[in-house]
Amino acid sequence: MDKKDPTIASLGEFGLIQSHFAPLCSNKKGITVGIGDDGAVLAVQPNQELVVSTDTLVEHIHFSSNDNPYQLAKKSLRVNLSDLAAMGANPNWYLLNIATPPSTQIEWINEFARGLKEDGERYSIVLTGGDTTSSKSGLVITITVMGTVDKGRAILRSGAKPGDKIFLSGTLGDSTLGLTYRLGYLKISNHLDAEFLQNRHLIPEPRVSLGLAILTEKIAHSAIDISDGLIADLKHVCSESNVGAEVDVDKIPLSGAATRLLETGGKEILTQILTGGEDYELLFTADAAMVDKIASIADKVGVGVTEIGVVSSGSEVKVLQNGSQLKLDSGGWTHF
């Protein structure tokens, strides 16, 4: 983008809303009143409940100035969709609050809106409003998503029971490895691996279909999406459910790229895989009798689901390798 390209200041606040955001509001999904009034009016079926979640991405903290706006739009929406997925909710509507420096180029917003449009269609979620302001200190993007579940059926963090098996979708650790590579802290000689891991960080895949399927099929007692790291998020489930857990490191699903890094990087890489965040995979717990049903659902939605451990009574979260417990110290995860 050329520095002399026109900026959003030339559009004005309402011009920008009209040209770039209003077109993302279609007439689908029970929208009685969309963008343009003081509030949106949205129809919810009488037997359903609304699931609402919000996440903010801040320039210099969550992304950098020269990040690709098309990808950034997708990530902003997807991290929110991942929360809906973890509740088993069906995505419906979202709000976009954006604070942008007036010097932001129109081409940047074009690409940002293109990313939102593409993913809005892909995940069947419609923009129904928001807020647009200027910012003197970088870009701030807040998206609020709304989805629906049948009354009383949302999957919570608090339902895990001792004896439940713990399941994880996809592969773990790719995003954090991609990020540290991107920041220059990790060397990756294989270009394809580097690209794969970076993409896992830049454009996560929210497990919306999997979340819907485990709710519909009454599979899970509890669920969470991995945004803060496996161990931290598993601890959230355990404390909300008043249970403990044992995770078997050797069962954790890894991509080929992460496996290759683990072979050469050892303990530090393992620590990163266990504690790094932003994978946006689903972790859920379910009765052991559900194993076959889960395998067939995973097959149907085309996402790998791996059993990685078991819920225990008590409150401790144990990480096991070859049957012995690992402990986190300043040098990473080590054997006792």
Smaller CB separation from ligand ADP, 31 or 224: 31
Q: How far is the CB of 72 from ligand ADP (least distance, A)?
A: 14
Given its phi and psi angles, is residue 88 left (phi above 0), alpha (psi -120 to 50 degrees) or beta? left
252 makes contact with ligand ADP (CB under 6 A): no
Which range, of 1-9, 30-38, 111-119, 140-148, touches Mg ion by CB under 5 A? Answer: 30-38
- Helix, strand or coil, per DSSP, at residue 100: strand
Q: What is the DSSP secondary structure assignment for residue 138, as one 8-state letter?
A: -
Q: Six-digit token pair at 172?
A: 């773990």
Please, what is the minimum distance in Å from the beta carbon of residue 131 to Mg ion? 10
| Position among 130, 159, 244, 276 found at the interface with ligand ADP (CB under 6 A) | 130
State the nearest-atom distance from the C-beta of 82 to ligand ADP, in Å: 21
- Beta carbons within 10 angstroms of residue 200's beta carbon: 25
Binding mask 31-70 for Mg ion (x = CB under 5 A): -------x--------------------------------
Question: Of 16-35, which residues contact ligand ADP (CB under 6 A)?
Answer: 17, 21, 35
Q: Which is nearer to Mg ion, 2 or 38 (CB)?
A: 38
Instruction: Count CB atoms within 10 A of the CB of residue 44.
Output: 12
H or E stretch at 295: helix 291-301
The counts of H helices and E strands in the chain are 9, 14
Nearer CB in complex with ligand ADP: 134/239: 134
Maximal C-alpha separation, the chain: 64
How many chain residues interact with ligand ADP (CB under 6 A)?
13
d(CA 116, CA 184): 29
Contact residues toward Mg ion (CB under 5 A) are: 38
